[in-house]
Chain A
Amino acid sequence: MGAFETEVQLAESKPETYFSMVIKRFLKHKLAIIGLVAIVSIVIFCFVLPLFFKYESTYSDFSYLYGPPNSQHLFGTDNLGHDFFTRLMYGGRISLIVGFSAAFLPVIFGVIIGAYAGYYGGILDNILMRITDAFLSVPAFPIYMALAKLMGQGVLNIILVFSFLGWMMDARIVRGMYLSLKETEYTEAAKAIGVGNARIIFRHLLPNSMAPILVSVTLTVGGAILSEAGLSFLGLGVPSSTPTWGNMLTNAQQDIFIAPRLVMWPGIMIFLTVLCFNFLGDGLRDAMDPKLYR
């Protein structure tokens, strides 16, 4: 019954592009909409709101350490007298930047590796995929710690370290897509026209494998924010002079009984952001997967 209704509906509805279809289906996904709205709010909170706020991230009031919330300091102050609300905004900046960069940088690498492995197949595929397997069998967190120690702390280093060990799943997904897409008739048609391999890989096959890549990126953002928090919590991430939600958690751990809110707020922010990115990823996957046509 459902299939029939869909058909009738399709026949009646105006012809639509793939993207309008995706958007329509995405809009029906309530959790994803909530996630998207929340993420946009968080981005505004971290990047736009500080511009209109009176405190700098380095501001500190030594006469008001561990100060409880009041009209001056919305969320109170921390152990160094920083305005905690301001710190939370600036900390979010770094966490989000790390999250996004650590999701987008490796995906570029992963797409290239996966695309060439899947498209050319054979020996190249074998070599590239065995390298990928090797990277996948490395325990990530100890390596993060070693590399972070080796390269020194800092935002850029964290992003590089995450990118170094974050491309394998993307490469596998893309390889799988290309393995099946290269057998399609439109790929053969492109070859028959004389389209070169590079153009087939990037112009024809890449847009057709965008859906799983985008979903993977969204889900990676949340993971990267968590990993950054984890590394910073261990004191190997971003130095505490630059606030991130992760190192704010670290700094607050000894004060958990004096001022539990110092642990609570960064925790809530991380939790919310990661959760919303996961909702968004789920929604995108449902909206872009042609097999889930409803």
Chain B
Amino acid sequence: MENEIILEVQSLKKYFSIKSGLFASTVGDTVKAVDDISFKVKKGETVGLVGETGSGKTTVGRTIIKLYEPTAGSIIFEGIDIAKLNENEMKKVRRKLQMIFQDPYASLDPRLTVEDIVKEPMEIHNLYKPNERKERATYILNLLGLDPEHLTRFPHEFSGGQRQRIGLARALAVEPEFIVADEPVSALDVSIQAQIINTFEDLQEKFNLTYLFISHDLAMVKHISNSIIVMYLGRIMEIAPSGEIYKKPLHPYTQALISAVPIPDPKVEKSRERILLEGDISSNIKLPKGCRFRPRCKYAMDICKEVEPVLEETEAGHSVACHLYKK
């Protein structure tokens, strides 16, 4: 595996403001969906991004592929800061940077055939000769375990798993290097989830792909990822190699998340202590002062009310944003 860094996110912010009225003036408050996050992704790796609903993980993914315009910060992809590119300049980058969407029922145009869907990215990026595109589409479908006969069919004729494969085929059509997968299996049956995850892994090996894998399913993310980023309310709480985050979760939030993952062994399951998080995720319009996890944290200290902890490395590759680990 190469160690070259393919994507580096630096102090990325994405705020949403509520606009309305004739002159689209800003009314009400700003939602800080992503609030100053930084991380690096190495080529050929899988980075898992976890957090509960509302933590901003999806916004991170969509901002990285510039579906949302970042409010501040930079997104350096292969040495270029794509945060500042306009849509025209971005087009070249889009070929290498693809996305898999959460809902395979909504992410395929219902009026296009599978052939149109898979060929469209090639047409847009002018890849292959027009008469070779069908062949390429057939090749990709085969690779994903779909029948070339499916080319003439419409999305509604497929099952969820098959649709997600079509979504993958669309992303792979342009030979990307980096794929942002936004909860790609959470809409699927559990039995299908494993298949799709395996497909992701096979493809990674075959094409040396890099994934940013967004999910709320820690167990699944641990299985597929090299390292894991834990987000809460738009901030990164902890970054660690995926093995380590299980063995030694530092942040109280990570500990709570991990204790929520069921263990398929009744003896262990009975004996271990469950950490239950109390209350709901705070609103990211009115953030609590100090640490944003404080209202739900059982270790909360006085300093947590005043000072927001910054992400600091405790060991090589393991960083945490918590006052408990301040040196």
A18-B156, A189-B101 known; A194-B109 Cβ under 8 A: no
One of A18, A184, A193, A207 near B124 (C-beta < 8 A) = A193
Residues of A within 8 A of B91 (CB): 194
Say yes or no: A193 contacts B98, CB within 8 Å.
Answer: yes
Interface flags, B152-167, vs A, CB<8A=1, else 0:
0110110000000001
One of A15, A123, A185, A199 near B107 (C-beta < 8 A) = A185
One of B110, B112, B153, B174 near A193 (C-beta < 8 A) = B174
- Bound CA–CA A185/B100 (angstroms): 10
Q: Is A186 an interface residue (CB 8 A)?
A: yes
B contacts, CB < 8 Å to A: 22-24, 62, 65, 67, 90-91, 94-95, 98-99, 101-103, 106-112, 120-121, 124-125, 153-154, 156-157, 167, 170, 174
A contacts, CB < 8 Å to B: 15-18, 122-123, 126, 184-186, 188-196, 199, 204, 207-208
A15-B153, A18-B156, A123-B24 known; A194-B95 Cβ under 8 A: yes
Which of A189, A196, A208 is most buried by chain B, counting CB atoms within 10 A of its CB? Answer: A189
Residues of B within 8 A of A184 (CB): 106
- Bound CA–CA A199/B116 (angstroms): 13
- Bound CA–CA A123/B25 (angstroms): 11
Say yes or no: B111 contacts A208, CB within 8 Å.
Answer: yes
Q: In the complex, how many angstroms separate the beta carbon of B110 from the nearest chain A beta carbon?
A: 7
Nearest chain A residue, comparing its CB with the CB of B158: A15
Chosen A-B contacts, 8 in total, with CB atoms closer than 8 Å, are A16-B157, A185-B106, A185-B107, A186-B107, A191-B67, A192-B94, A194-B121, A196-B124
One of B109, B153, B154, B167 near A204 (C-beta < 8 A) = B109
Nearest chain B residue, comparing its CB with the CB of A14: B157
Say yes or no: B106 contacts A186, CB within 8 Å.
Answer: yes
Residues of B within 8 A of A16 (CB): 157
- Bound CA–CA A192/B178 (angstroms): 13
Say yes or no: A208 contacts B67, CB within 8 Å.
Answer: no
- Bound CA–CA A122/B19 (angstroms): 10
- Bound CA–CA A204/B121 (angstroms): 13
Say yes or no: A188 contacts B67, CB within 8 Å.
Answer: yes
Say yes or no: B94 contacts A189, CB within 8 Å.
Answer: no
One of B109, B125, B157 near A186 (C-beta < 8 A) = B109
Residues of A within 8 A of B23 (CB): 123
Nearest chain B residue, comparing its CB with the CB of A193: B121
Residues of A within 8 A of B103 (CB): 185
Residues of B within 8 A of A194 (CB): 90-91, 94-95, 121, 124-125
- Bound CA–CA A122/B22 (angstroms): 8
Say yes or no: A18 contacts B154, CB within 8 Å.
Answer: yes
Say yes or no: B111 contacts A189, CB within 8 Å.
Answer: no
Say yes or no: A126 contacts B109, CB within 8 Å.
Answer: no
Residues of A within 8 A of B95 (CB): 194
- Bound CA–CA A208/B167 (angstroms): 19
Say yes or no: B24 contacts A208, CB within 8 Å.
Answer: no
Residues of A within 8 A of B90 (CB): 194
Say yes or no: B154 contacts A17, CB within 8 Å.
Answer: yes
Residues of B within 8 A of A126 (CB): 22
One of B101, B121, B154, B174 near A188 (C-beta < 8 A) = B101
Residues of B within 8 A of A188 (CB): 62, 67, 101, 107
Nearest chain B residue, comparing its CB with the CB of A189: B107
Say yes or no: B108 contacts A15, CB within 8 Å.
Answer: no
Say yes or no: A193 contacts B101, CB within 8 Å.
Answer: no
Q: In the complex, how many angstroms separate the beta carbon of A212 from the nearest chain B beta carbon?
A: 14
Given contacts A123-B24, A193-B94, A208-B109, 10 further A-B pairs with CB under 8 A are A18-B111, A123-B23, A185-B102, A185-B107, A186-B110, A188-B67, A192-B94, A193-B170, A194-B90, A194-B125
Which of A186, A188, A195 is most buried by chain B, counting CB atoms within 10 A of its CB? Answer: A186
Q: In the complex, how many angstroms separate the beta carbon of B18 from the nearest chain A beta carbon?
A: 14
Q: In the complex, how many angstroms separate the beta carbon of A264 from the nearest chain B beta carbon?
A: 46
Q: In the complex, how many angstroms separate the beta carbon of A189 from the nearest chain B beta carbon?
A: 5
Nearest chain A residue, comparing its CB with the CB of B101: A185
Say yes or no: A18 contacts B110, CB within 8 Å.
Answer: yes
Q: In the complex, how many angstroms separate the beta carbon of B230 from the nearest chain A beta carbon?
A: 25
Residues of B within 8 A of A186 (CB): 106-110
Say yes or no: A190 contacts B109, CB within 8 Å.
Answer: yes
Residues of A within 8 A of B121 (CB): 193-194
Q: In the complex, how many angstroms separate the beta carbon of A234 from the nearest chain B beta carbon?
A: 40
Nearest chain B residue, comparing its CB with the CB of A125: B24
Residues of B within 8 A of A199 (CB): 124
Say yes or no: B98 contacts A192, CB within 8 Å.
Answer: yes
Residues of A within 8 A of B101 (CB): 185, 188-189
Residues of A within 8 A of B110 (CB): 18, 186, 208
One of A122, A189, A195 near B24 (C-beta < 8 A) = A122
- Bound CA–CA A123/B99 (angstroms): 30
Say yes or no: A192 contacts B67, CB within 8 Å.
Answer: yes
Residues of B within 8 A of A15 (CB): 153, 157
Q: In the complex, how many angstroms separate the beta carbon of A288 from the nearest chain B beta carbon?
A: 12
A-B residue pairs, 8 tightest by C-beta: A194-B94, A185-B106, A15-B157, A207-B111, A185-B107, A186-B109, A192-B99, A194-B91
Nearest chain B residue, comparing its CB with the CB of A194: B94
Say yes or no: B120 contacts A193, CB within 8 Å.
Answer: yes
Say yes or no: B109 contacts A192, CB within 8 Å.
Answer: no
- Bound CA–CA A126/B108 (angstroms): 30
- Bound CA–CA A293/B111 (angstroms): 17
Residues of B within 8 A of A195 (CB): 120, 124
Nearest chain A residue, comparing its CB with the CB of B122: A193
Nearest chain A residue, comparing its CB with the CB of B21: A126
Which of B67, B103, B106, B108 is most buried by chain A, counting CB atoms within 10 A of its CB? Answer: B106
- Bound CA–CA A190/B156 (angstroms): 18
Q: In the complex, how many angstroms separate the beta carbon of A280 from the nearest chain B beta carbon?
A: 22
